[in-house]
Amino acid sequence: MDGAWVRRIFRAHYFEHLRREKARRIAVRQRNIRMAGLFGTPLSPLQIRVARPTARLQQVVAFYRDGLGLPVIGHFENHAGYSGVMLGIPTETFHLEFTSTNVGSECPAPTKDNLLVLYMPDPHAYQAVIDRLRAHGYTPVEPENPYWKSASQTFEDPDGWRVVVFNGPAFRND
C-alpha cells in the first residue's frame, strides 16, 4: 500500500466518525428537549429564580453582592409582609431571591452539602472572586464532598448555605 491509499482510508474513517458523532449529539439534544418538556413540548423558561428565606437579609445580600459580586437586579419591601432582594447572574436569566418576613416558617439550617456552584473557567475571574470574598472577611470552609477540593473553594453565607466557586468549565451535556 502506498501512503496516498492509507491517507484516503484514514480520511474516510475519520469523516465517518465525525458524521456519527454529530448525529449522536443531535439525537441526545433532541432527546433532552423531549424529556425536558411536557408531552413532547420543549421546556423553554424565560428565567429561573431560586428563592429562599433568611432571617439575616442584609448580611446575606452583602455576601452575594459584595463578596461574590452579583448585581442587585430588583428588590421589594413590605409586599404582603415580605421584603426581598434579587441578585442576578450576569445574563439575568438565572437569579437568586432572598426574602425576609416577620411571619411564616422559620429558616431551617441547611446541611453542609446544600450547594450553589458557580463555575468560573477564567482563572483570573476565579481568583478575583476568591480575593474579593476574602477581602470582605469570608474564609473558605472544608467541603463535605471531597470532589469540590480539587479546583474550587467553598464559602458559607451568613445563614450557613454553602457556595462553591469552581475554577473550571461548567457541566455540558453535548
Q: What is the 3-state secondary structure (H, E, C) of the chain?
A: CCHHHHHHHHHHHHHHHHHHHHHHHHHHHHHHHHHHCECCECCCCCCEEEEEECCCHHHHHHHHHHHCCCCEEEEEEEECCEEEEEEECCCCCEEEEEEEECCCCCCCCCCCCCEEEEECCCHHHHHHHHHHHHHCCCCCECCCCHHHHCCEEEEECCCCCEEEEECCCCCCCC
| For residue 40, pLDDT beyond 60 | no
CATH topology of domain 48-166: 2,3-Dihydroxybiphenyl 1,2-Dioxygenase; domain 1 (3.10.180)
Q: Please indicate, yes or no, whether the overall pTM of this predicted structure exceeds 0.95.
A: no
What value does the mean pLDDT of the chain take? 82
For the segment 101-148, what is each residue's pLDDT rounded down to a tens digit?
A: 877 667 777 899 999 999 999 999 999 999 999 999 999 999 999 999
